[in-house]
Structure formats: C-alpha cells, structure tokens
Amino acid sequence: MKRFRTLCKRMTILSMASMLSFSLAACVDSSSPQESASTTEDGKTVITMGRVTAANPKLPEGDTYENNAYTRLVDEKLDVKIVNQFEAEGEDYDRQVALAIASGELPDMMRVNSKEELKELVENDLIADLTDVYKERASDNIKEIYDSYGGRSLADATFDDRLMAIPATNGANAPNMVWIRQDWIDKLGLELDKDGDSLITLEELENTAKAFIENDPGASGNPVGIPFAHWLNAGDYGGSALTMSSVAGVFNAHPRHYIEDENGNITYGSTTEGTKKALGVLADLFDKGIIDPQFGTRTWDDIMALLTNGQTGIVTGPWHIPDWGLSAVREMDKNAEFVAYTLEGDNGKANVFRENPTGSFIVVRKDYAHPELAIKILNLFYDELGNATDLETDYPEIAKYNELSVDGSTRPFNIEVYKSTSTLDDFSDLILPAVNGETSIEDITKAGIKNDAKTILEYIENPENAETSAWAKYHSRMKGIGLIEKLTTEDTFNWTTPVYYGTTATMEKKGANLLKLEEEDFIKIVTGTEPLDYFDTFVSKWKKQGGDEILAEIEAELAEQQ
Amino acid sequence: MVESKSISARIGRIVIHTIVITLGLICLLPLWNIVATSFSSSEAVTANAVGLIPVNFTTETYKMIMEDAQFWRSFGISVQRVFLSLIINMVLIVLMAYPLSKSTRVFKGRNIYMNLLIFSMLFSGGMIPTYLVVKNLNLLNTIWSLVLPGAVQVFSVILIMNFFIGVPKSLEEAAIMDGANPLQILVKVFIPISLPALATVALFSIVGNWNDFFSGLIYMTKVSNYPLMTYIQSLSINIEEMLKSGANANSLENMMEVSNKNLNAAKIVVSIIPLLVIYPLLQKYFIHGIVVGSVKE
Amino acid sequence: MKVQTAKTASWTNAKTRKQEKKWNTANSVYHLMMLPGMIFLLIFSYIPMFGIIMAFQDYIPAKGMLGSEFVGLEHFIYMFQLPDIGQVFRNTMVIAFGKILLGTFGAIIFSILLNEIRLKFLKKSIQTVVYLPHFLSWVVLAAVVVNMFSLDGIVNQILSFFGLENLNFLGSNSLFQPLLIGTDVWKEFGFNSIVYLAAITAVDPGLHEAASIDGANWWKRVWHITLPSMLPIILLLAILSLPNILNAGFDQVYNLYTPMVYETGDILDTYVYRIGLLGREYSFGTAVGIFKSIIGMILIISANEMAKKYTDRKLF
C-alpha cells in the first residue's frame, strides 16, 4: 500500500516535472516532505501540519510553534511528532494553503478558513472522511459540545452525510453595544436608562452625545460626537466595532446578512425597510452634528485617537472591545470608565442576529494513515485539557503557559471548540458568583476563567491602581458579558437567525461590486450627498446588478438541503 | 563651471538653493516623524500626539529590538540575500548588456534575445506557477528562493545596454587593435567608463532586494526564515481589513498587542539604516562619475 | 572629430578580412555571454508562463492547471462587463499617467537643480534625504499623509492661516486624484532622480565652459547642453514606464481610499483585489494581468518604433 502511494506520488511529481520541462525534471529531488516516512526513527507517528500562527504568540524563550508545551503534550500522550509543513497567519496562511493544494502536497492536517475552500477539497476528493473516526473516537463531552449547536455546526462540515472536517465552533451570540464614558455621564450629571433595563433609546443616545459635544467633558477643546467606521457594516459580530449594527437593530434590521422576511422570502438585510430607517436616523444625526463631521474619511487609528484624546466618549462595538480597543483610553486617562448599553428596538426588544456557528475547519489529507489522530487531538485539547480540574498538578507546563498567557494558536489545532452558551455560562456560573463572593475563586476549575475572575477582583478592589489589563477584563466581562447576561435573564432579546452564511457563485463574481455599491451609497445617504429616498435607487441597483441572482441561488441551495 | 558674477545669477543661485533645501526638508519630514514616533510612549502614539518631537521620550523600543532574536535573524537573512543578489545581478547585467549593445550586424541573434527580455519584463506566469518551479527545484526555505528568481534584472540590463551604446567606438576599436577579446574589452573598457551607471543599477539591486517582502511570504514557510522586510510586514496588521472581513475576541486581542506602533516605527528606522550606509558609498560614483570623453562620432 | 571618423573608416576597410574572423569568434562569445542570463530567464520567467493558461480556465488549485475547466475568453468578457469598469479604467489611467508625467518632470528638474549645488556636503546630504521616502512603505506613509491632509491636519491649518477655505482632500472626489499623484511624486522623485544624476555627470564639463565663454546664461546651457545630453535616458525611462499605465499604485490607493472617493480613486488593482477577497479568483486575476501586459506591450513597442522614427535611435 505504502509502496503504491509512493509510486503514485512519484508519478505525480514526474508528470508535473515533465510539464515543467526536462531541464527541471533532472533537478527534482525525490525526498520531498511527503516522501519521508510517516514515522520518526524512534517509532513516533509524524503528522505534517499547516499551522495558523499569531504575530505575537508569547511563547517562552526557546519554544516554537513546532516544539512547545502543547506539541510536547501530544508527543507524550499520543506518541505523535508534529512537523509543520507551513506556518503563516491571516491572508498569508490562505495563500500557503492554496499553494499547497496547487502543488499537490497537502499537509496531513491543516485548518481551512472557509466553507468554499472545504467544498473544493471535498469535491476534488483530497481529504479524508471523518464520519467513522468521529463516531467511534470522539469523547462524549466533545459530542455534547457539538450537539449544543443543534446539529448546525457539524452540518456545515457534512457533505452527502459524510463528516469531512472538524468544524470550529463560534458561539458569539450577543448584541452590538453602545459603549459610553461612565465618568463623563457622572461628571455632567446625566441620567440614562431610567427604567434600568439596560436598553437606551435613540433619543437618550442623541442627548448624551449632544451633552458631550456641548460640555466637552474630556477637555479636548474639539469634541466630535459619535464616530463611525466608513464601512458602516461588518461581516460578523466580532468585527462590528464602530458599525451601525446597533442602530439597525432598533428597526430589527441586520445589514450584510441574508434573512427571511415576514413572508418567508429570503432578503438581503441591507436592502430592507428597517435598514432604510436606520440610515435615515444616521443621516439626521449627521446633519445635526451628533455624528463625527469627518465621518467617511476617518481611519481606525483616527478614531482610536479621538477616543484617547477625550474628543469622543461614545462608540459602538462588541462585548470584547474593552480588551483590545477601549483599553487605550484607560492608558491615557486613569479615570476613564465605560458603561455598555444596547439600543432599544421600536418593538421594545433588543434585536440581534445569530452568528455563523462555524468559522473554520480542520481537515485531514485523504489517504493519511491515521485520521483517528485528529479526533484524539480534539479530545485531548478540548475535552481533557478544557475540563481538567487541576492543571497545576496534572499539566504543570500548560499551567505555566496559561500564566504567561501564551496564545492559543500554539496549540496544534488553532480553533475553538466550545458549547454555544459557554461564554455566558462561564460568566454566570463561575465568574459572577466568585466576584460576588458567593464562591471562592479557588473553586473555579477552568484555568482561564479562574484567571479572569482573579483579574476582575483585582480591579474591583483597587480600581485606581489596577493594571490596564484588569480594567479591560473588568469592563468586557462585568459590563459587556454582564449586559448579555442581564438581557438573557430578563428575556429582552429578539433573535434573528440568518438563513445563509456562505458564498454563492454570483457572490464570488459580483459580490465585490455589490459591496462597493452598498458602501458608497450608504455613505452618500448618511452624509446627505443623496436624500434618504435614494435608498430605493440603491435597492433596485443592487437587485439588478446581481442581487436577484444571489437570492435565487440561496433559495435553490436551501431548497436542496431540505 | 565658470563663476558668474552678475546679480541675477546670484539671485538665481539663492533661488535654486532655497528650492532644493525645501524639497529636502519636505522629504525628511515623514522619516523624522517616524523617528520621533519610535522614541515616544505608545500611549502618545495612539493618541496621535507625536509630530516632529518625541512625546514622553523613551528608548524602550530600541531595547526591545536589541532583544528580538527574530529581528536580527531576519536582518542577517536580508543582508545575505542582498549580497548574493548583488553579485549575481551585476554579473548578469554586464554580461548581457554588452553583447546586446552591439548591432545585429555585429551580433547575430541580438534582436531575438532583446525581444525575449522585453517579453519577460511584460508578461509573467503569476504566483502559483513560479512557486511550483521554485518548489520543484527544492529551493523553498532556502536563501536561493529569494535570489535566483530575480537573477535577471531586465530593466537594469536595458539601462546599462544604453550606456554601453553611448561609449565611444574609438575606445573599443583601440582595444581590438591591441588584441583584446570581447570579455577583456568589457572588463577593461566598458565597465570602468560606465561606473556611474553601474553604481545606479547596483543601488537598484540592493534597494529592490532589501525592500521586497512578498517573495519571502511565498517561498519561506516559516517565520524563522523570513527576511527582514517580510518579518516587518508580518507585524503590520491591517485592523480595518480584519474587522470588515470578520474577527473574534482572541485574534483582535493578539493583534492589538502586536500593533505596537512605536516599536514598529523603531523597526522601520533600524531597517533603513543599512540603506543609509550603502548610499553614500555608491554616491561618490555618480557624483564624481568618470566623465565620458568628448569623442563622439 | 570628422577627421577621426574618416580615419576609423579607412582602418576598418583595411582590416576587413582579419576582422571578419574576429567578429565570428566574437559572435559566439556574445552568445556565451548571454547564456547564463537566458537560462535563469527560461527557468524563472518562461517556464512559469504556462500559468497564463489559467486566464482561459476556471482555475481551481485542487484540480490543477491540467484539470481545471477551460472557459475561453469568459474572464476577459466578464472584466469588460463589470458595471464600473469604465470608471475604474479612467481612474487608473489618469492617476498612472499623472504619476509618470509629473514624476518624470519632478525628477529631471530636481536633478538639474541639485547639480547646481556646489557645496559637496550639502549636495550629498540633500541627495540622501530625498531618496529616503522611497523606503517607507505606503502602509506607514499613509498614516502620515492622512494626518497631514485631514480636515484638522497641518495642510488645512496652513490654508486657514492664509484665510483660505478648508479642503477635504481625502473625502473629495475632485481632490483625491491630485492628492494621490502629488504624494507619489513626493515619495519617488528623489529616488527617480538617481538615474538622471548619473546621466548629468556624464556630460562633458568642457561643453559648459565653452558655452559660458560664449556668453550663454545658465538657462541656455541647461536647455542646449544638459537636457539634450539627458534626452536618450529620459526617453528610455519614459518608454520603459509606459507599461505601467495600468498600474496606478495599489499600495498607495489601498491605504488611502475610502468608499467616499471610490468614484475617482478606485483603480483596476484595488478593484480586482476586492473581487479576489470574496472568491479566490486566480483566473480572473491572471486575465486582468494579461490584459495589462498586452496593453503594455503595444505601448512599449509603438513607443520604441516612434523613437526610432523621430530620433533615429531605437532604445532596445
């Protein structure tokens, strides 16, 4: 069998080489990585991998992506040696994957970042069927995690009833929030959210922004109102900082998402009446000077500067924005404090959309001798380690990594696999009781969560002198997730589940053009270059230039699935 | 040049000096700003408070670079690459430019070569086929993958060829009389007389190889093999693109830790220093360039 | 000089036979000299050109170039059917042409002016300084440009100081193209002037002296001596930059534009890039690249022929 495989590979290489010309064929060395034996000299199984890295992995001196506490753990527990065929991040990783596919030398296991790429691999019969190994080897806990998505997650990786990949999970279901400087609210004696349901109205938002502009509580001399990003809408919740997502939510509109309207027809969120109303609100606010007058040309860095300079104290964003965005404000101003609200919908609810449950996938090369190892790694990292009760004793090296907050990308699979509600559960079951003193921090079994709880307490005990990271954790957890928890408990959410997250053929061809149209026209409407009714022109242009085709394709694809 | 004593000439001189110095200052500003940024605290940089004077002066960034092993490893790879490329490029440039500077009467087939060169400058097979060739030659993750694909600098060959054409025929003929063969003529006559032009294309080769980051991204599959500019590029992250196309809490957090703008500014400053050192070395060739004699046909 | 030419001619005639043999050996030496370079060109330029067939396929990496479906000219037709393609072409050419034209002028004028500076130290320092911006990538420079040209940036502060109306350079469709061209000239003129400086040093100072003695002023000397002697190199560089007429500078535009200025700022490369982000459109990208190459080839060949016709000198 192995001989046959080697022969096949030689043939492929030979044919490719002869295609390249004879001069090159002579140079082809037959000892390419895949030719090498899949075991090391000391009998360990080798897995070649494509690894998604992070720019700042924070690995301790001497450790690398190929040799670190996690790979050593795999070595020790599974007798497996991980060899990286390529390491890269972001776009560069996607390019390396494409090059690997093009050259016909896939690593044994790798991450693919889109459903389209996965589809391509499946259709061309390049990756292994994991149905059986998943059924036989996946631990109960892992199965339970996937089941918490009601089958949506595994379905994404399933083709013709065969599971072709391990899907990463993405349970980020939360409202886009409005983050406001609490210290400024206090300073000016403003009153917000009188009924205490953590929802504020558009009018309250406008009045607060107005008060900030008139009184300049940041003493910047040049207050600017609410800044928005010129792209106005992002593809998902994680990227929703500075978008109009929360304003659209007021009218139960979800731009950039494909949803079902009240008649059961599939529509594009950016073309709905609700989005028009939201744009109308923004245009009005821009006209009144409540929105940053330089909206449209501000870059991300500009807006961060506005925040840190005290020129603005209101931004929209996801629950985690304090961790990576707002923390800069606190670096400049020790007294800075934020509060998070969600805008109240015209139906009195917080209108939110559900996130795509799957982001990326782990695939195993077809004919790889040990596909079960993928599931074993899955069990090891997302069940055994994830649920380990005493990390310090059982996995001292990993415990040290947690302390150093080494990036998760250093694990063999750079994916997250957790229950759909885990962020919220961890908060309400573990963090909140500990912070409130109902339980002891030491009782928290999950290492990462324990760290979070500790840092939050550090901040609460001494807000003045706490580290910025503690300030950030406090805000993202207690204010951000706290808001989600409250709205969930009080049943304030009105969920919309988009019907389609993928990319159709027409989207690939015409999507860029349609997006350009959308971005251009939305800015024109908000800045008043075009009247609000121009929105209808936009909608008809959108439909004509490919939108109708896209909707038909989605409908056909969904019909096929049922 | 003869000194001109008239007042108008003197005014002219002042005007020229003013213009040239102003242009120099305008070009200095961005780099000055980056140097100031590299010596400022990261909060000041985030607040966009740094102009031409460092705010909250710190040398922390440079200390961090000194300790950044990968930075210096990449630095070394870049130096190696520039050195190898320079040798190969220059040898091939003069070797090709000389025969091409002959007329078709003298060098039969000259036009075929020329057309092949021009065609290769205009058309390229693209990233994937070139990658396949480099991979099949087993050059991935070697310094040669950065050097060999750019071995022939067509633009420079054409430039030098044109300088060679301008070399007075009498010089060559004299050498032929002395019984020199083409290679000797090239080395003894053409190269010495074209030093300013050769210094120029040498500079192009050095600058081009030092600045190129893309081939590192394709042919090096591990960060530890990246040349310097590829390494620096991998640290400059486009948050806007990330937000637009979708992001999660972890990736955003990690990215923010990297987007240390004062540190990145310091890295840029250090990465430019070698080019600042090289330039004056070559500069003397094109300021005191050996003057081509007045002998023209 | 005439005498010398005649002398050379007679020498050539006398030695024709001996020379003939010499030329023959020389001819093979010339081929040998070309050989190493041509081998590199074959391996790294010509062999990968089989990738051009991707433009006529729906290339899918997993299927490879042999297995992907052929679609003929579909990608080219598709390119011309894109709704904004006319606008995008116009933007690309206006921006690229502006950059080539003003960039060339800027570099020539600067090199002539710099050549007049006699303080060696000053001359060297300025030359070094103006070449610096070339080394800063647009990712870095864009931040500087945005700071300078935003509504509260230094440029508008200067405008206000002189009582002029503030201008929204980054958000105005009429100002964005001049901004792109201007900042690009600023970034590159110093580096581009290097070749011209090398050309100026090749001018015989004797000519200038003779002209001065004849009473020619500075302007006349530049016009009649410096510029004519630079002309071949100016023409050569101008012709070699022609294929760039459809390359308007992706990095610069990408880092400076916003949807507000798509109308005048969106160029072919940014447009293709955005299409590529959604689908991994290798084939489409290749097709656009080939289109650019063909336009470039037509331009460069006709320019070369024109140069031959009017200046009696082919450049390659």
Q: How far is B56 from chain C (nearest CA, A)?
A: 20
Q: Give C32-70 pLDDT, tens digit per residue.
A: 999 999 999 999 999 999 999 999 998 888 888 888 899
Chain C positions touching B279 (Cβ under 8 A) are 128, 131
Round to whole Å and give the CA distance between A482 and A505: 41
pLDDT score of B277: 86
Does the pLDDT of residue C27 top 90, yes or no? Answer: no
Q: Which of B251, B255, B260, B263 to mutate to test the interface with A (most CBs of A within 10 A)?
A: B251
pLDDT score of A390: 79
Instruction: Nearest by CB to B126, from C27, C289, C316: name it.
Output: C289
For residue A169, give the nearest of A187, A185, A151, A182 by alpha carbon: A151
Question: Helices C138-149 & C154-161, crossing angle to 10 degrees?
Answer: 30
Query: Binning pLDDT at 50, 70 and 90, where does residue A114 land?
Result: confident
Q: Give A420-449 pLDDT, tens digit per residue.
A: 888 899 999 999 999 998 998 888 878 778
Does the pLDDT of residue C17 top 60, yes or no? Answer: no
pLDDT over 90 percentage in chain A: 69
Q: Which whole-number Å values give the CA distances from A531 to A268, A294, A297, in the listed order?
A: 21, 19, 20
Round to whole Å and give the CA distance between A486 and A61: 43
φ/ψ of residue A15, rounded to 5:
-65, -40
Q: How far is B30 from chain C (nearest CA, A)?
A: 7
Q: How far is B46 from chain A (nearest CA, A)?
A: 6
Query: Quick check: A301 and C143 CB within 8 A?
Result: yes
The CATH number of B61-287, from 3.30.70.1380, 2.40.30.10, 1.10.3720.10, 2.60.120.650, is 1.10.3720.10
Residue type, A356: N
Q: Average pLDDT, stretch C82-99?
A: 93
Residue of B nearest to C298 (CA): B122
> Tokens for A59?
């690995």
Query: Quick check: B207 and C290 CB within 8 A?
Result: no
> Tokens for A502?
């993928």
Q: Give A490-529 pLDDT, tens digit per residue.
A: 999 999 999 998 888 888 888 888 999 999 999 999 999 9
Q: Give A131-161 pLDDT, tens digit per residue.
A: 999 999 999 999 999 999 888 889 999 999 9
Chain B positions touching A27 (Cβ under 8 A) are 136-138
Domain segments of chain C as ranges: 82-311
Which positions 47-66 of A are in contact with B (Cβ < 8 Å)? 53-56, 64
Which class for B12: exposed (0-12), middle (13-18), buried (19 or more C-beta within 10 A)? middle
Residue type, A31: S
Q: Give C119-166 pLDDT, tens digit per residue.
A: 888 988 898 899 889 988 898 888 889 888 988 888 999 999 999 989
pLDDT score of A34: 44
φ/ψ of residue A173, rounded to 5:
-105, 105
Which class for B70: exposed (0-12), middle (13-18), buried (19 or more C-beta within 10 A)? middle
pLDDT score of C197: 85
Q: Give A182-194 pLDDT, tens digit per residue.
A: 999 999 999 999 8
> Tokens for A371?
């596909």
Please answer whether residues A252 and A345 qualify as being in contact, where contact means their C-beta atoms are separated by less than 8 angstroms. yes
pLDDT score of B13: 86
Round to whole Å and give the CA distance between A377 and A138: 10
Q: What ipTM describes this predicted complex?
A: 0.88
Instruction: Nearest by CB to C129, from B28, B183, B287: name it.
Output: B28
Query: Quick check: A96 and B237 CB within 8 A?
Result: no
Domain segments of chain B as ranges: 1-58, 61-287
Q: Which of A516, A540, A543 to mutate to test the interface with C (most CBs of C within 10 A)?
A: A516
pLDDT over 70 percentage in chain A: 93
Query: Quick check: A302 and C170 CB within 8 A?
Result: no
Sequential DSSP letters for C81-99? HSTTHHHHHHHHHHHHHHH
Task: Give the 3-state secondary structure of residue B283.
Answer: helix
Segment holding A81, helix H or strand E: strand A80-88
pLDDT score of C280: 65
Query: Quick check: B48 and A302 CB within 8 A?
Result: yes
Query: Binning pLDDT at 50, 70 and 90, where does residue A29 land?
Result: very low
Q: Give C168-184 pLDDT, tens digit per residue.
A: 999 999 999 999 999 99
Round to whole Å and give the CA distance between B264 and B280: 26
Segment holding C291, helix H or strand E: helix C282-311
Count of Cβ atoms closer than 10 Å to residue C35 Cβ? 12
Round to whole Å and give the CA distance between A330 and C54: 52
CA angle C265, C269, C270 (to 5 degrees): 55
pLDDT score of B287: 57
Query: Binning pLDDT at 50, 70 and 90, where does residue C2 land?
Result: very low
Does the pLDDT of residue A20 top 50, yes or no? Answer: no
Please state which CATH number belongs to domain C82-311: 1.10.3720.10
More confident residue, B2 or A41: A41
For residue B212, give the nearest of B196, B184, B233 by alpha carbon: B233
Q: How far is A136 from chain B (nearest CA, A)?
A: 31
Query: Quick check: A324 and B137 CB within 8 A?
Result: no
Task: Give the 3-state secondary structure of residue A500.
Answer: strand
Residue of B nearest to A23 (CA): B137
Segment holding A180, helix H or strand E: strand A177-181
Query: Quick check: C62 and A123 CB within 8 A?
Result: yes
Q: Which of A114, A297, A553 to mutate to test the interface with C (most CBs of C within 10 A)?
A: A297
Q: How far is B221 from chain C (nearest CA, A)?
A: 18
Q: Which of B58, B225, B248 to mutate to test the interface with A (most CBs of A within 10 A)?
A: B248
Instruction: Nearest by CB to A87, from B127, B223, B256: name it.
Output: B223
More confident residue, C314 or A87: A87
Does the pLDDT of residue A392 top 70, yes or no? Answer: yes
Residue of B nearest to C137 (CA): B211
pLDDT score of B247: 77
pLDDT score of A202: 96
Residues in chain B where the model's pLDDT stays below 50: 1-3, 289-297
Which positions 264-283 of C are in contact with B (Cβ < 8 Å)? 277, 282
Query: Binning pLDDT at 50, 70 and 90, where does residue C207 land?
Result: confident
